[in-house]
Amino acid sequence: MQWPDWLWTRHSKKTDDTTREASPSHDKPPYKPAASGTWATNLNSTDWSHYTTPQTITACVVTTATTLALIRLYKTYLRRIPTVNYLKPGLFRRRSLYGYVTSVGDADNFHLFHTPGGRLAGWGWLRGRKVQEMGKAQLKGKTVHVRIAGVDAPELGHFGKPTQPFGPEALEWLRESILHRYVRVRVYRRDQYERVVCMVWKRKWVVWRADVGYEMLKQGWATVYEAKFGSEFGDKEEQYRAAEKRAKERGVGMWQEPGLVGRLLGREKSVETPREYKTRMAVQEKGGKTGEKGK
């Protein structure tokens, strides 16, 4: 179907007269496009030249690259990790996590509420209050269970086992050091108890930071981790062993000499380390099971 001629001309007699008076070229015939235009060809045609200009291509490339970069930034640094199950193996030994300590269970492990982006993302001054006000029920399934790397603290009584000497004191020291505070942890690996073994740092004097594991050894509230496998020290094993040696020489923490009351209660000078305690408990448990089978 061809376009009607009156659509192409669009001029009246009055317009023609005015045009002739104003323009010396009044004898020039009115513009009329080629008669090849049809409803189909003109309505459905696309002018692709608008999409191939340098300005359009540059804008598309910049927008796409920026979007992909923001997505990667969010997934790498700003996405919150609620539990250990969300930690990918690719993050081990490469990433550190910043978070708020919600509870301290034993003297060498605690629960961390991951706050990605730290204070720059508003944690601690815009959104931190909400974390501090959350109860145990609200925090369930939202924290990462952290085991401090490289150290072994005196054990508390669990599952019918007795509390090791200096266990409560070591627990109290750790609570005073990191409970309800923000810390940074470097993730090493996941252990058999669904925890992540991490090096832990806390802020000290605004600018400096303190290694929590090293401070525990220095104060005598832990020993160097002595398991046959699974030990993690990063590059600080020598530093950790030197700190334990100095604590023994100074007689601080669990290495202190028993006082008069302690000697009357039968406390020995030699300290049973957490590794020795665990070995003794395992032998007793194994012997108990063997005795039950013999009956």
Task: Report which residue type is found at 218.
Answer: K
Burial of 236 (0-12, 13-18, 19+ CB in 10 A): middle
Are 195 and 147 a contacting pair, CB within 8 Å? Answer: yes
Active-site residue, selected from the candidate residues 21, 79, 133, 155: 155
Catalytic position from the list 79, 95, 147, 275: 147
Separation between Cα atoms, residue 254 and residue 275, nearest integer Å = 14
φ, ψ of residue 237 to 5 degrees: the values are: -60, -45
95 annotated active-site: no
Could you give the 3-state DSSP secondary structure of residue 145?
strand
Catalytic residue at 155?
yes
Q: What are residue 48's DSSP bridge partners? A: none
CA angle 158, 160, 163 (to 5 degrees): 55
Candidates 129, 190, 195, 249; catalytic one:
195
Question: Are residues 146 and 157 in contact, defined by beta-carbon separation less than 8 angstroms?
Answer: no
Three state DSSP letters for 32-50 = CCCCCCEHHHHHCCCCHHH
Which residues form the catalytic set?
147, 155, 195
